Chain A
């Protein structure tokens, strides 16, 4: 049961997120973003440059937004791929069970017990560092969450009365999966999708920070923080502000996910009959 305050937070958070999304994606605003102007290097935050400028005179605020746009886009694509793979694998594994399900569980254990950074290093050794290998790494870890959720959902639904009913009236397996199970599963997976974009955005920043993801001279939050770290003694705004921007987007993605869950959730009906 959610109270009014939560609802307000959800609505406010979602509106703010949409606004910030517009800000990040409306390009013309940031024409000054990647302009190198060494006369203007390492300016502390001021009214003109709210987050200051970097050693090449670029505006940190605009670059943060440009970086966020890239991260959000990449995160969205990665999660879309994970979503599709996860839902398909999860439902197949749960619906058909048997050896397919056992194989899935083993694969899941392998991925979960793979030290994450080691796998990422191996992938980047194999495929070279860059956006592509980063996306591969994100997908290898990301699809599992969808698959696990879908699997447990489908398992529960498989025995649900209405599915048995559909079987009894002779619906085909295909029809049952797509007409009855998929819509039910999507209801729970969609809030997760939003949440996972948030995780992916954090992951992209982390990988780029380590040098595996987006490469310079592109603007990216993780890269900006890594570059800013060099100037930790002198120009702290170079790493403080990009991190804050990332945190704001990530918090809002969490709020939107909660809001979606609140909207779509079926368990959450008021229950006065208990009195």
Chain B
């Protein structure tokens, strides 16, 4: 057993007014120490929910099944207090939407120091120095001034990097980043990617990076998992994924990338409340057969580290 995080048959369901939303269903995933896995998919495919499920950060209306094993420890059975010891210290989580994700009435210095003091039990003065060092290592030009600023006074990219700095404080062996580059322009995106890299180097950590941006995933990840309608439909080392895409959905996604002419995939993502029968992608798939409409395909392994959920490779 050499993986740091293992998900086995993980499902998360929300009880909403309109019915049960099956945001994540039957996800299996293994992440090795030091490995960065990208989780890619369209908005609403359940990728953010999967990230939150690992640390049980989902809203109270959610129920999770399956097993989540971190460093040999089963997380699903832990109490809230036990999980608090894992959160931040062992597994860091970088929330999406940095503009809303920092306390608006506390300056960012105090928010970073709060994390440090929580993890290390050191004096405020030492925490201040450490926070300054962390910001410096993320190439903030004037850490002391930045620390006195409130979130509203910082740009979106700055806030995102502050979120990264806060996650670094615990020097965790694993981190989850939810859409860290969403809504940022190219230059700022570069800075954020750089910050994430420094974080990974500093903590020597493994990670799960959730994004809708295939290009970004290719830049930073070792392996990429593709998610559709709550399931992982393909997983492979990043280069293989681009050179030998197997799933029709992935073909479509690659074709829709800007450098490939932005050809859109036809149809709409299916509802997570009333899932289609058979393969969840069949309504949008051009290779769709009668079998696809009836049989829900399992994961198959056409090559040793490349898995795909499609009957064409059976």
Q: Which residues of A contact B (CB under 8 A)?
A: 1, 270, 272-273, 275
Whether B44 is near chain A, meaning CB under 8 Å from some CB there, is yes
Produce 1/0 per residue, B4-25, CB < 8 A to A.
0000000000101110010100
Residue of chain B at shortest CB distance from A270:
B17
Distance A273 CA – B16 CA, assembled complex (angstroms): 12
**Neighbouring B residues of A270 by C-beta, 8 Å:** 17-18
Instruction: Output the least CB separation between B285 and chain A (Å).
Output: 24
Instruction: Output the least CB separation between A51 and chain B (Å).
Output: 44
Whether B209 is near chain A, meaning CB under 8 Å from some CB there, is no
Whether B176 is near chain A, meaning CB under 8 Å from some CB there, is no
On whether the beta carbons of A275 and B23 are closer than 8 Å, the reply is: yes
Residue of chain A at shortest CB distance from B273:
A272
Task: Tell which of A1, A270, A272 has the most Cβ of chain B within 10 Å.
Answer: A272
Interface SS of chain A: loop
On whether the beta carbons of B18 and A272 are closer than 8 Å, the reply is: yes
Residue of chain A at shortest CB distance from B45:
A275
Residue of chain A at shortest CB distance from B58:
A275
B245-272 at interface with A (beta carbon < 8 Å)? 272
On whether the beta carbons of A275 and B21 are closer than 8 Å, the reply is: yes
Whether B31 is near chain A, meaning CB under 8 Å from some CB there, is no
**Neighbouring B residues of A273 by C-beta, 8 Å:** 43-44
Distance A273 CA – B18 CA, assembled complex (angstroms): 13
**Neighbouring B residues of A1 by C-beta, 8 Å:** 17
Distance A273 CA – B14 CA, assembled complex (angstroms): 13
Instruction: Output the least CB separation between B44 and chain A (Å).
Output: 7
Instruction: Output the least CB separation between B179 and chain A (Å).
Output: 13
On whether the beta carbons of B17 and A275 are closer than 8 Å, the reply is: no
Instruction: Output the least CB separation between B19 and chain A (Å).
Output: 10
Whether B49 is near chain A, meaning CB under 8 Å from some CB there, is yes
A sample of 16 cross-chain residue pairs with beta-carbon separation below 8 angstroms, ordered by A number, consists of A1-B17, A270-B17, A270-B18, A272-B16, A272-B18, A272-B21, A273-B43, A273-B44, A275-B14, A275-B21, A275-B23, A275-B44, A275-B46, A275-B48, A275-B49, A275-B272
**Neighbouring A residues of B23 by C-beta, 8 Å:** 275
B44-78 at interface with A (beta carbon < 8 Å)? 44, 46, 48-49
Additional A-B contacts beyond A275-B44, A275-B49 (14; CB < 8 A): A1-B17, A270-B17, A270-B18, A272-B16, A272-B18, A272-B21, A273-B43, A273-B44, A275-B14, A275-B21, A275-B23, A275-B46, A275-B48, A275-B272
**Neighbouring A residues of B272 by C-beta, 8 Å:** 275
Q: Shortest 9 CB-CB distances between A and B: which pairs? A: A275-B23, A275-B21, A275-B49, A272-B16, A273-B44, A275-B14, A275-B44, A270-B17, A272-B18
**Neighbouring B residues of A275 by C-beta, 8 Å:** 14, 21, 23, 44, 46, 48-49, 272
Distance A275 CA – B16 CA, assembled complex (angstroms): 11
Residue of chain B at shortest CB distance from A272:
B16
**Neighbouring B residues of A272 by C-beta, 8 Å:** 16, 18, 21
Instruction: Output the least CB separation between A5 and chain B (Å).
Output: 13
Distance A270 CA – B272 CA, assembled complex (angstroms): 16
Residue of chain B at shortest CB distance from A3:
B17
Instruction: Output the least CB separation between B227 and chain A (Å).
Output: 13
